[in-house]
């Protein structure tokens, strides 16, 4: 059974329907990418898993639990965490306070977990007292990922982690995501940078106009003539 | 009276405005509404205190605690009845509701407690410092001897105590950090698993406790009647906006600016112009907002 199982999902915002009949699975420890053109509903798919977009039909189960009707503050208890594309840290809080809220639902975060996060993102250890709003874009992205890892989730949802980063940081960001996945955490990523995401992931989905279009191994999609022509710019 | 004396008056006024303004600005930042009924929360707190002293009777410090607990509970109850149900409708309907609620509360208090002013029967000790020489420039004395009463010291001491406690709450506890986080970004707070309704309830209780304390202190320092709180709401609102709405630290700074300006303009304006001293606080407010719209603390004043 899959860790995350989205089936026949209709979703959107209020009366607006963005997704229709979307299927999506992520296995334990798997690295899955969702790619597709702007407005394809990639982020909406991720937001509806976390209860931020409105689910209008279909079902979402995580680790055997039906989370279709869960609010965000309940979803987080199931063992998955979410890094939004923008505004993913609290700007007026310090780095330490942001990390503390990353583990808000736990009574106690093991010190070893904080250490592991600092080891992966050393910049966070050096800037504990700094107000998050004054960090650079790349540092904020690192902090947002650090916060999501405070729960040691089974699955982490990353919404366009490379968006707005300087080109030399994009590679580093993808390396960090590889690290997280190698430690056993399943990753579901939405990316504008489709080629790089497909190169790195185990499996990918191509979404267009709110519907499943293609699905397959990352390399398989990268080398597919149709996918290349329609979605990867040749 | 010289400058030193008026600075004392200003600090005392600033102190109780600050205690109230912290609660007001937290509601603004976290519940995202301007609570125009907030002045009545001060009045209710003061009357609970006066009732406790007069009827039970309890000593004043205990009565203040009773007033604060009562104020917190009433604030939570009113929020649950009138504000929580319309939380999603946005700031304007909530503001209008609070104006209506304030009107009802004010007249309700007037009907039950009557029109007359009440006060706490305290024995003030006055400390005089007459050693300072006057430093006259024309008719204005820029220094001069001053006095401070035990009541004024209690007001200022309570304010400092409140600042330290609120600072500790906001920076050292999960609830406090969650409050600030909600002020930043409520959606992200939910993604972190923060029960936003519980945090909002905590803010209502805290704001009610602070308003009640400010009301009791106002009663100790002067007197209270049904309209007392309402007469303070514009000062509280100005202090909060001056400091950068939503920022408790800014509200503290804004309160002392307002308190000092009120006291000094009353004292030093020519006799015929003292009537405009309260307007001067607002002129400063307008001035600050023209130059620095984000207020003293620099946080963006959001749409309300």
> Hey, of A72, A76, A79, A159, which one would you mutate to test binding to chain B, going by the most B CBs within 10 A of its CB?
A72
Model ipTM value: 0.93
Domain co-membership, A164 together with A72 = yes
Domain co-membership, A13 together with A70 = yes
Asked if pLDDT for residue B143 goes beyond 60, the answer is yes
Alpha carbon of A73: minimum distance to chain B alpha carbons (Å): 4
Domain co-membership, A112 together with A134 = yes
Q: Do B192 and A88 touch (CB under 8 A)?
A: no
* Each residue's pLDDT tens digit, B22-33: 999 999 999 999
Q: Do A147 and B180 touch (CB under 8 A)?
A: no
CA atoms within 13 A on the CB side of B189: 23
Helices (H), chain B: 3-26, 38-55, 60-78, 91-113, 150-172, 174-184, 186-191, 196-221, 228-243, 248-268, 277-291
pLDDT at position B20: 98
**End-of-domain residue from the set A110, A129, A152:** A152
- Using a CB–CB cutoff of 8 Å, tell me whether A77 touches chain B: yes
Count of domains for chain B? 1
Alpha carbon of B180: minimum distance to chain A alpha carbons (Å): 7
**End-of-domain residue from the set A131, A152, A173:** A152
Domain that holds residue B32: 3-291
B303 domain residue, yes or no: no
pLDDT at position B267: 80
d(CA B200, CA B26): 10
- Portion of chain B with pLDDT greater than 70, in percent: 94
Which residues of chain A make contact with B298, given a CB cutoff of 8 A? none
Which residues of chain B make contact with A147, given a CB cutoff of 8 A? 192
CATH number, residue B111: 1.10.3470
Residue whose C-alpha is closest to residue A173's, from A158, A184, A188: A158
B57 domain residue, yes or no: yes
Interfacial A residues in 92-111 facing B (CB < 8 Å): 92-93, 97, 100-102, 104-105
* Each residue's pLDDT tens digit, A134-144: 999 999 999 99
Which whole-number Å values give the CA distances from A73 to A93, B189, B251, in the listed order?
Answer: 20, 8, 31
B67 domain residue, yes or no: yes
pLDDT at position B274: 66
With cut-offs at 50, 70 and 90, classify the pLDDT of residue B233. Answer: very high
Residue whose C-alpha is closest to residue B239's, from B195, B285, B202: B285
Candidate from A6-20, B25-39, B124-138 with smallest mean pLDDT = B124-138
Domain that holds residue A28: 1-79+153-234
Alpha carbon of B194: minimum distance to chain A alpha carbons (Å): 6
Domain co-membership, A119 together with A16 = no
Token pair 């972190």 is found at: B192
């Amino acid at each position: 059974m899959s860790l995350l199982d989205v089936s026949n999902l209709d979703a959107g915002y209020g009366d607006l329907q963005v997704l229709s009949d979307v299927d999506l699975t992520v296995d334990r420890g798997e690295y899955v990418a969702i790619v597709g053109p702007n407005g394809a509903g990639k982020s909406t798919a991720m937001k509806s898993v976390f209860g931020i977009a409105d689910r209008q039909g279909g079902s979402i189960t995580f680790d055997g639990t039906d989370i279709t009707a869960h609010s965000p503050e309940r979803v987080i208890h199931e063992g998955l965490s979410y890094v939004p594309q923008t505004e993913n840290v609290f700007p007026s809080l310090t780095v330490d306070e942001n990390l503390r809220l990353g583990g808000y639902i736990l009574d106690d975060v093991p010190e070893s977990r904080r250490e592991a996060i600092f080891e992966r993102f050393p910049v966070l250890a050096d800037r504990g007292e700094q107000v998050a709003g004054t960090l650079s874009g790349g540092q904020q992205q690192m902090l947002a990922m650090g916060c999501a890892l405070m729960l040691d989730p089974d699955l982490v949802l990353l919404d366009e982690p490379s968006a707005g980063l300087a080109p030399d940081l994009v590679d580093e960001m993808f390396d960090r995501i590889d690290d997280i996945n190698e430690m056993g955490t399943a990753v579901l990523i939405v990316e504008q940078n489709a080629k790089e995401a497909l190169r790195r992931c185990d499996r990918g989905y191509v979404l267009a106009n709110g519907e499943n279009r293609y699905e397959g191994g990352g390399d398989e999609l990268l080398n597919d003539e149709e996918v290349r022509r329609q979605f990867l710019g040749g | 009276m010289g400058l030193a004396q008026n600075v004392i008056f200003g600090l005392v006024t600033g102190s109780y405005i600050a205690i109230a303004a912290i609660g007001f600005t937290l509601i603004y930042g976290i519940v995202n509404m301007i609570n125009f009924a907030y002045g009545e929360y001060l009045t209710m707190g003061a009357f609970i205190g006066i009732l406790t002293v007069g009827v039970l009777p309890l000593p004043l410090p205990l009565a203040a605690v009773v007033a604060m607990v009562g104020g917190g509970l009433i604030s939570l109850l009113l929020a649950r009845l009138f504000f929580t149900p319309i939380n999603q409708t946005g700031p304007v309907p909530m503001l209008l509701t609070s104006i209506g609620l304030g009107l009802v509360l004010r007249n309700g208090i007037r009907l039950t407690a009557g029109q007359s002013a009440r006060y706490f029967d305290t024995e003030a000790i006055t400390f005089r410092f007459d050693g300072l020489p006057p430093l006259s420039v024309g008719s204005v004395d820029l220094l001069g001897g001053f006095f401070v009463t035990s009541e004024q010291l209690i007001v200022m001491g309570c304010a400092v105590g409140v600042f330290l406690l609120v600072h500790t709450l906001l920076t050292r506890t999960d609830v406090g950090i969650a409050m600030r986080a909600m002020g930043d970004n409520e959606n992200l707070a939910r993604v972190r698993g923060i029960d936003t309704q519980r945090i909002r309830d905590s803010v209502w209780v805290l704001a009610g406790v602070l308003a009640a304390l400010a009301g009791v202190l106002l009663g100790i320092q002067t007197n209270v009647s049904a309209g007392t709180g309402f007469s303070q709401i514009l000062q509280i609102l100005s202090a909060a906006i001056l400091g950068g709405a939503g920022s408790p630290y800014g509200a503290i700074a804004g309160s002392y600016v307002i308190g000092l300006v009120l006291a000094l303009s009353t004292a030093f304006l020519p006799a015929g112009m003292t009537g405009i001293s309260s307007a001067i606080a607002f002129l400063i407010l307008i001035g600050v907002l023209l130059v620095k719209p984000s207020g003293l603390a620099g946080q963006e004043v959001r749409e309300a």
